Structure 1
């Protein structure tokens, strides 16, 4: 879930611009992956795969009592979700291969699968820039991976989906970190200023990556695609990067800071119009990349055995602009006197040291997963209401 990063206050913007420049300068187009082959999809409807993994959640009340929330997929979803996963590949090469490994399966279960309660989920494998390549860049070494290969795969997958599977249905684009950068580029190249393409875009949710806006405006790097301001807005963007309220973005943060005259988009899925709201978080109970071992969710209780846990009333979020940063500020309403945990995982760790410039990057989506799913469904209904009935 860790994306390509450069250090510095404007690192996210610089990296996105660098990716675009690298792709534009590519002399020869990469060999296109064939997405008519089932094996090149991480998730597709109608089969058992990463997105049909177990999704039940243990709901832990403040008093420590527990109930189980069973996941129920939609029987006949009316719209589609196209998901591009973040940087998770553990391949020992600059760009990943197309083989589905445990890392890709795990992140699809954590981030994409729950959308099956409202939509058909399509998630392509793509030759992404690997964790190894990005760590080398963070250590000051030259970039050896080819972003144009990653983007070419995402575009080819989306083109294949539109030609073979879409059938005129509305679609929500969903991504995280590197996946969000790929989707932002897809939006800029294939949707921005193109009314015909925009007709089928319900919304886009590029989470966990900076989407730069012109200061005071709802558009920016995407010139004609604004951020959403109500749950019924369509053809718009829902994006945020998350930080603890107690650990705001530092001066050299990897996220939340844009260049002069710009700001980073922040749309709270639980309150698109602004303000603080309780978040419907689905937190993974297993360990995450760069995090310690799983937390004890409640004192004196048996371990949680479901893949997700919910802590009703504990997690809240608000989009804030503070000290030159724009981000989803996360607060925890914890009570040390009750048996429920007082903290959540999600920070990027270097051993025992928390890397504050990453924020809660590892759980960006999970903090508001229920809200994102609900918002996608609401937007899909609003989109469908504008279409002639068949």
Structure 2
């Protein structure tokens, strides 16, 4: 089945009724809350993987005291049969564990359950349907959750926004509509919103998507945005790509390298990988080490992957390369491309690696603003 037919089949199946709005004053409407045993409090068994093979294994647990709060909006994960998801948690749990839970070492974690646009909605939009009604429904939930978070749950503490893909798109709107130029801006320590284009005029740090919120240029800088979309080296965004290519003249897609803010050179990344994923990878399944299968569900690598920011006219992206070392016991390949209908989507780049490849670096950025 071609990609287009696969998307059409998803869209045709989207007939489910829309769930009622969540009540965010109730704990049950939140996927993650501090002090609760949930997706973000589950210890994550993680093994270090180096050039010499598997190393030590540890359990990642939330810190007991932190100075900032993290408000997270998860990416498109729902396969519900509708253009907006129901409020029954399923795939959302895995997303929060892989993308947010580790941030619990440096911040209190908050994640609302919301009626996100489903994979069927993404398919329908790709076929020309207007996603605005589905987007606004999802945004309304996120906006109400954020208002509850600010007024009653965060207790006046500084906060960090964290999202990916659809989550970053929604947080872009939240910054533009509810934060810029308003009291909430004073408490925003940082926004980490990779996986969806933030637009800026070429050579500028502000303007475009945001009026006054600028891109981060150094660790510890407060009130700024970390944003990028990932592409494999020697495979830049093609013209018209959904991610990494700006349609308007004189505008580019923002790129801030989490490992080296404000620079353009290569920098080694501190990565956390979901080692037992069954998602398709170009070239087939990854053999993470010559020593055999991963001993834990998560792996940490430092320096296996390097990244650098590239801006060339309308193109803007985080270029990722694997550092192949002869004789090393770790992998020479990583995944990240999005497979659908038996092929990989060229205009999405290494979308699935956006959070994994530099996650350790992102956590350190939160730690820096907390200091």
Alignment-derived partner of residue 152 in structure 1: 140
Alignment-derived partner of residue 200 in structure 2: 213
Cα distance in structure 1, aligned partners of 2:127 and 2:296: 37
Alignment-derived partner of residue 283 in structure 1: 273
Residue pairs, 1:83-98, within 5 angstroms: 83-98=72-87
Cα distance in structure 2, aligned partners of 1:58 and 1:255: 32
Distance 1:248 1:69, change over 3 A: farther
Alignment-derived partner of residue 151 in structure 2: 163
- How far residue 73 of structure 1 moved from its aligned partner, in angstroms, is 2.2
- How far residue 44 of structure 1 moved from its aligned partner, in angstroms, is 0.6
Decide which of 123, 135, 156 is 2:123's aligned counterpart: 135
Alignment-derived partner of residue 11 in structure 2: none
Cα distance in structure 1, aligned partners of 2:127 and 2:175: 31
DSSP-derived class of the 2:44 partner: coil
Alignment-derived partner of residue 118 in structure 1: 106
Report if the CA contact (8 A) 2:253-2:314 is conserved: no
Cα distance in structure 2, aligned partners of 1:358 and 1:313: 24
Distance 1:144 1:74, change over 3 A: closer
Decide which of 302, 309, 314 is 1:319's aligned counterpart: 309
Cα offsets for 1:39-86 (capped at 9, x unmatched): 111111111111123323211211224321432421211110000000
DSSP-derived class of the 2:329 partner: coil
DSSP-derived class of the 1:164 partner: helix
Distance 1:144 1:276, change over 3 A: closer
Residue pairs, 1:163-202, within 5 angstroms: 163-194=151-182, 196-202=183-189
Query: Gaps (5+ residues) in structure 2?
Result: 1-18
Distance 1:163 1:289, change over 3 A: farther
DSSP-derived class of the 2:303 partner: coil
Decide which of 204, 221, 226 is 2:191's aligned counterpart: 204
Cα distance in structure 2, aligned partners of 1:119 and 1:169: 11
- How far residue 193 of structure 1 moved from its aligned partner, in angstroms, is 2.0
Alignment-derived partner of residue 24 in structure 1: none
Aligned residues: 349
Distance 1:222 1:364, change over 3 A: same
Cα distance in structure 1, aligned partners of 2:268 and 2:65: 29
Cα distance in structure 1, aligned partners of 2:234 and 2:281: 18
Q: State yes or no: 1:34 paired with 2:27.
A: no
Alpha-carbon RMSD across the aligned residues, in angstroms, is: 2.0
DSSP-derived class of the 1:199 partner: helix
- How far residue 266 of structure 1 moved from its aligned partner, in angstroms, is 0.8
- How far residue 366 of structure 1 moved from its aligned partner, in angstroms, is 0.9
Alignment-derived partner of residue 5 in structure 1: none
Alignment-derived partner of residue 262 in structure 1: 251
TM-score of the superposition, structure 2-length normalised? Answer: 0.89
Cα offsets for 1:9-56 (capped at 9, x unmatched): xxxxxxxxxxxxxxxxxxxxx964310111111111111111123323
Alignment-derived partner of residue 13 in structure 1: none
Alignment-derived partner of residue 387 in structure 1: none
Alignment-derived partner of residue 297 in structure 1: 288
Distance 1:222 1:323, change over 3 A: closer
Distance 1:31 1:61, change over 3 A: closer
Decide which of 221, 226, 229 is 1:241's aligned counterpart: 229
Distance 1:323 1:50, change over 3 A: same
Q: State yes or no: 1:79 paired with 2:68.
A: yes
Cα distance in structure 1, aligned partners of 2:196 and 2:280: 18
Moved more, 275-284 or 303-312: 303-312
- How far residue 350 of structure 1 moved from its aligned partner, in angstroms, is 3.2
Query: Gaps (5+ residues) in structure 1?
Result: 1-29, 382-390
Report if the CA contact (8 A) 1:264-1:327 is conserved: yes
Cα distance in structure 1, aligned partners of 2:260 and 2:167: 24
Distance 1:262 1:125, change over 3 A: same
Cα offsets for 1:97-150 (capped at 9, x unmatched): 11111x100110110111000000000010011011211332445659621110
Cα distance in structure 2, aligned partners of 1:351 and 1:58: 33
Report if the CA contact (8 A) 2:238-2:245 is conserved: no
Cα distance in structure 2, aligned partners of 1:112 and 1:63: 29
TM-score of the superposition, structure 1-length normalised? Answer: 0.85
